Structure 1
Amino acid sequence: MVQAHHATGPEDLYATPPPWDIGHPQPALQALAEAGVIRGRVLDVGCGTGEHALMAADLGLDAIGVDLASAALRTAKDKAHDRGHVVRFLQRDARNLAELGESFDTVLDCGLFHIFGGNDRTAFVDSLRSALRPNGRYFMLCFSDRQSNEGWPRVHRVSRNDVHAAFADGWHVDSIEPTTIEITTDPAGIRAWLVAVTRI
């Protein structure tokens, strides 16, 4: 889920199982899979231990996951092997997806966008544009501005206006819906947005 961009950050997040690593896809993204809107070649950015890339593979889709945390990527590769899926998991910075040299129809993001602010957020959105084909779709789960920051120091609380500002140029914001990110430490979960954006 969360991919930090600080030098010491990514591995710290997976030194012990993080609360967002729930062992299965987030229900909000699973619902998209069941609705048939996750299509074509799929990129899972900030993939963590790989549940959403593996969810795409369950649909028979070609899926790739990228993250900075090598410990999480090792777990993701083990899961793929155990489940009999061929999914590539690569150690890459999501702010430079052009380095992949590949194009995707769908990008999934569970908890990465809200890590970035300022120039990092701009770089990430530009990076998404380089990876998504025209009419490709980006689906994001992020912290809502309705959620307290307490206990989540690296996370930006995201408003609807933040989403529209980030995707104002060359994108169409299709929907911003209130939802929940499940975590292991609180049955109420985290108040979140499920965002769908299309690259124009």
Structure 2
Amino acid sequence: MADEEVAPWDDIYSGKAEDFSGPVPWNIGEPQPEIAELIARGKFHSEVLDAGCGHAETSLHLAAQGYTVVGLDLSPTAIAAATRAAKDRNLASATFEVADISAFTGYDGRFSTIVDSTLFHSLPVDRRRSYLESVARAAASGASFYILVFEKGAFPEGEGPNAVTEDELRQAVAPFWNIDEVRPAFIHALQAPPEGSDIELDDKGRALLPAFLLSAHLPL
């Protein structure tokens, strides 16, 4: 894990990044609603891997409901914040570790559910395959995998993260997982929509940005 790869994410989470004045846009203080709905519907089973957990509101929400969850992220600043939050909330079943999510080891066959809530589009395109190999290796037999990722077109051309088309998402994931569904979704973000855009806001004033929610599984 090279220092130059860690630094931009640490700068964002520590408030030092020039392009991110104010709150981290995807750190909304709760799980993304699309993911929260899956949890409420009983789609998650312990142990859970929160891939690219950031400040880990998904992990903390799961732990508060009794799930055992591990959050991994490249940013030491984010992992330190998540660890403090778990301690403050007395959530011993949530643990966190600094790791390169595209090349981590040590969890082979462990997780019954893996959740990627806004990580996939943050990866360099050439790291997608190694990332998917890593999470598949960490998955237990019959595990479920959920990816919430920006749809291409969510941002003006040449701006934003590495968003995907549905075909790109399917083609990346299919060699490693059995895909059950890819459906349109939204990522809720703490950012003002560009002037003149048709982006809507949710009931908390957060931008609703076009995304996909992929559901997949491994065979038993």
Normalised TM-score (structure 2): 0.82
Pair 1:96-2:120 in alignment: no
Alignment of 1:1-200 (within 5 A): 6-16=5-15, 17-86=23-92, 87-101=94-108, 103-149=110-156, 152-153=159-160, 155-186=161-192, 187-200=206-219
Greater Cα offset, 167-176 or 30-39: 167-176
Instruction: Tell me the distance in 2 between the aligned counterparts of 1:143 and 1:134.
Output: 28
What is the rounded CA distance, in whole Å, between the counterparts of 2:176 and 2:71 in structure 1? 24
| Whole-angstrom CA distance in 1 between matches of 2:108 and 2:175 | 22
Over 3 Å counting, the alpha-carbon distance change for 1:12 and 1:150 in structure 2 is farther
The structural deviation recorded for 1:61 is 1.0
1:6 offset after TM fit, Å?
A: 2.1
Of the structure 1 ranges 6-15 and 84-93, higher mean CA displacement relative to structure 2 is found in 6-15
CA deviation string 1:45-76 (max 9, x = no partner):
11001101112112211111010111111111
* Greater radius of gyration (CA): 2
Report if aligned partners of 1:49, 1:75 keep a CA contact under 8 Å in 2: yes
1:97 and 1:130 in contact (8 A); partners too: no
Gaps of 5+ in 1: none
Q: CA deviation at 1:159?
A: 1.0
Flag structure 2 segments of 5+ consecutive residues without an equivalent: 16-22, 193-205
TM-score (normalizing by structure 1): 0.90
Instruction: Quickly say closer, same or farther: Cα 1:159–1:151, change in 2 above 3 A.
Output: closer
Query: Identity of aligned pairs, percent?
Result: 28
1:136 Cα deviation from its structure 2 partner: 0.4
Quote the Cα distance in structure 2 between the aligned partners of 1:159 and 1:100: 30
Cα distance change of structure 1 residues 13 and 150 upon mapping to structure 2, 3 Å threshold = farther
